[in-house]
Structures are given as C-alpha cells and as structure tokens.
A and B are shown apart, each in its own frame.
Chain A
Amino acid sequence: MRQATLAAAMGLLAACYPGGAQTASDLDTVTTQHDPGADFASIQTYAMPSTVQETPAAAGEPLAIDHGNDAAILATVAANLNKLGWRQVNPATVTPDINVMVSVTATRYREYVAYPFYGWYPGWAGFTGYDDTWSVYYPYGGGYTTVIDAGSLRIEMLDTRTPNSTTKQLTAVWTASLDGIIAGSAQSLLTRINTGIDQAFAQSPYL
C-alpha cells in the first residue's frame, strides 16, 4: 500500500513537470554578460588570434577536443563582429580597440552514488540485520549513475583602451558562453555552435 501511495505521489509530481528536452540541442544555451559601463559605441577595431584555445573545467575529466572546426568557428565570430561595423586589424601593425578571444572546454562529468540498498527493499529478508544507515562500498570505484559530456565555447572581448597597470588587468567588457551537451557528428556540432554564436550577438543589442 505504501509503495502504491508513493508511486501515485511520484506520478502526480511527474504530471506537474511533463515534457522536457528531446534532443541534445534542446539543452543548448547561450549566456551573455557585459560591462554596463563599457563604451561599445566607440569601438572601431578588433583583433582576434587565429586559434581557439582550450581551457580546463574546474571539475570533471577533460575530453579531447577536435580542432577541425576552429577556422569555421572563428569565421562566424568575425562575421558577426564585422556586421557591427568593426574592422579586424593585425595587432602587429595597428593597436585594436578590443581583443577577442575564443576558447573551448569539453568535460566529462560523472555523478557517483552509493545506493542505500536497504531503503530500496525495506523489510526484505535478504537484508535482515541491516538498516538504512548502511550503504554500498565499491572497491573498484564504480557505482556512478550519471555521465554527461558537456562542452562550452566562450567568446570574450578585452578592452585594450582601458588597461589597469596597477592591478595589471584588462577589463572584459563582453562575454558569451555557449553551453551544451556534446553529442552528434562534428558537422552537427558546428551547426549548433554557429547558431549559438549568431544568437550571442543577436541577444546583445547594446554592442
């Protein structure tokens, strides 16, 4: 009876939150932040390195990153910057107003759970002598239940006009982060990334 009540309660709770993501791209998000005090209107030139850097995530296992799409990604970023009326310059000959950097992170996250086995089968004869204070020990380090491969592409604008030589800092005036689940072919990933880059600029009308 208790299980039936629990199942009914779970069913009712699930009915309150139906639906959800169907594909990996449904979980794609684009997050932008900017310095409200930055003078974007006066930006005329930018410089951008020709490579995409890798940055490690604070947690999780780093995944190998395929850089085969780097040129296409940088081209999409440049196209959006050019649409703003900004001009790409060679920093070796012209000092740009901003430097634009593109970096990626690919990380595998695992969630380890030691199951409270007694709680699953309370009163079952096989667990006589135990209670819910017991758990399972995995000497081989297993027992995880969730594995997620997540990736981020980050675009940052550093204002080279306002360096702080005291703190030795350049101010980031705009950051875009494209976050999602890594799944599918390189071509489908590139499509999702390009869509995300376009969206990052579209949702930043102040640029």
Chain B
Amino acid sequence: MRSLRLLFVVPLLLSSAALAQSHVRISYEMAQPVGNTARFIDRFSSRGAHVDVSLELTYAFHFELSAGLNSFNAAKYGVLTTTTGQDVSGKQYRYLNVVPLMAGFAFHVPLGGGSRFWVGCNGGTGYFDRVIDLGLYSYTANSWQYGIQPHVGLAIGLGDKSGTALFFDGRYNYFWARQGFPVQQYWSFGVGLLFGGSGKK
C-alpha cells in the first residue's frame, strides 16, 4: 500500500515542479532502416506511432518518456539458412516490429505563440520482433536490445489557449548488439500533435 501511495506522490511532486510547458506529443511516424536493419528489410516504413511525455524540470530543460512502434515489412527472394542446417529458398515475407521504450532529457526552446524547437537524447530499450514467412513455414526471432535515440523537433503553435501545436520530429534510433543479434539502426520521422504546451503564455 505504501508503494502504491509513493506511485501517486511521485507524479504529484513532479507535476508541482513541472512548469506549464510540460506536454504530451502523439505522432505518426515513418522510418528508414539503415545498416543491419536495412540488410534485413531495406524498405521505407510508413507505419508507426509514438507517444512522448515531456516534463519540464527547470526552464527549457525537460525529462522525457517515449514509447512507440515502428513496423517494417518487405518481400524478397533469397536463401535462408536455418539453425538446423537447412537452406530454404523462396519468396520471403519479412516483418520487423520495433517497440522502443525510452527515457531521456531534452532542451526545449520556446519560439512564442506556442511554437518551440527541441533537441534531446533518450536511452532505453527496444523490443524487436522479427518474422519471416517462407512458403508454408514461419520463422521468428525476438530480442530486447539497449539503445539510444537522439531526436530533434519543431512545433508550430495552432494559436489556441490550450497550447496545442502541430509538430515535426526526427529521431535516430541505435540499438547495440545483444544475445547474437547485431546492431540495429533506423531513422524515423514523425508528424503529430503536441498537447498542453504553452499557448497561453
């Protein structure tokens, strides 16, 4: 019960410290794989979404929580060598779903009228779900990999008192190799809405 109270108290303390510029961002995200990720799937992804919670700790300095989903898919012919030593060829339908779960810090520069520019860096983990459908078979491999996510964004205030803004962001997602899975990298680009900004200021 005590831990439950603590869970409620911490956000309250945070909120008392947080200033009016704390906000939530929800975005539609596209992504371009590079490196090893592109060797698995080299196709641009048009499916993804992110939610970011940004808490202003001191003026312009924010603590950020970020969660998202980036879905990649591609079809290609090739030979897959299985763990049992079989070489299987055919049309491969490859899928990669990445769920990055990050936290970090960012500097937000108010531009007036609810607009802002920010730059920051998140760190955390990402869940990678890989599937290859080949013929009547399906091969899967999953991993959790630690990573970082530098990001920038530009929000344009929509002029309302609630501080809603249209924003564009860009992120570089880098995940270190782990448990036999190589380094993963991709760029993602988002467009979305920022809620609870500083329109009234």
Q: Which residues of A contact B (CB under 8 A)?
A: 15-21, 26-33, 148, 150, 179-181, 199, 203-204
Tell me how far the C-beta of B82 lies from the nearest C-beta in chain A, rounded to whole angstroms: 9
Whether A199 and B87, one on each chain, are in contact in the complex, defined by CB atoms closer than 8 angstroms, is no
Question: Closest residue to B71 on the A side, CB-wise?
Answer: A16
Whether A17 and B73, one on each chain, are in contact in the complex, defined by CB atoms closer than 8 angstroms, is yes
Measured CA separation A19–B41 after assembly (Å): 14
The contact sample of 22 A-B pairs, CB cut-off 8 A, is: A15-B71, A16-B71, A16-B97, A16-B129, A17-B131, A18-B47, A18-B73, A19-B73, A19-B75, A19-B93, A27-B90, A28-B90, A29-B88, A29-B135, A29-B137, A30-B88, A30-B90, A31-B88, A32-B86, A32-B87, A148-B136, A204-B87
Given contacts A17-B95, A17-B131, A203-B79, whether A33 and B136 have CB atoms under 8 Å apart is no
Whether B87 and A29, one on each chain, are in contact in the complex, defined by CB atoms closer than 8 angstroms, is no
| Residues of chain A within 8 A of B136, CB atoms compared | 27, 29, 148, 150, 179, 181
Overall SS of chain B's interface: strand
Overall SS of chain A's interface: mixed
Q: Which residues of B contact A (CB under 8 A)?
A: 47, 69, 71, 73, 75, 79, 85-91, 93, 95, 97, 129, 131, 133-137
| Residues of chain A within 8 A of B129, CB atoms compared | 16
Tell me how far the C-beta of B58 lies from the nearest C-beta in chain A, rounded to whole angstroms: 37
Closest 4 CB pairs of A and B: A29-B135, A29-B90, A30-B89, A31-B88
Measured CA separation A204–B73 after assembly (Å): 28
Measured CA separation A150–B85 after assembly (Å): 23
Whether A21 and B47, one on each chain, are in contact in the complex, defined by CB atoms closer than 8 angstroms, is no
Whether A28 and B135, one on each chain, are in contact in the complex, defined by CB atoms closer than 8 angstroms, is yes
Tell me how far the C-beta of B138 lies from the nearest C-beta in chain A, rounded to whole angstroms: 10
Measured CA separation A31–B97 after assembly (Å): 27
Measured CA separation A207–B52 after assembly (Å): 55
Whether A26 and B91, one on each chain, are in contact in the complex, defined by CB atoms closer than 8 angstroms, is yes
Measured CA separation A180–B136 after assembly (Å): 8
Measured CA separation A32–B129 after assembly (Å): 27
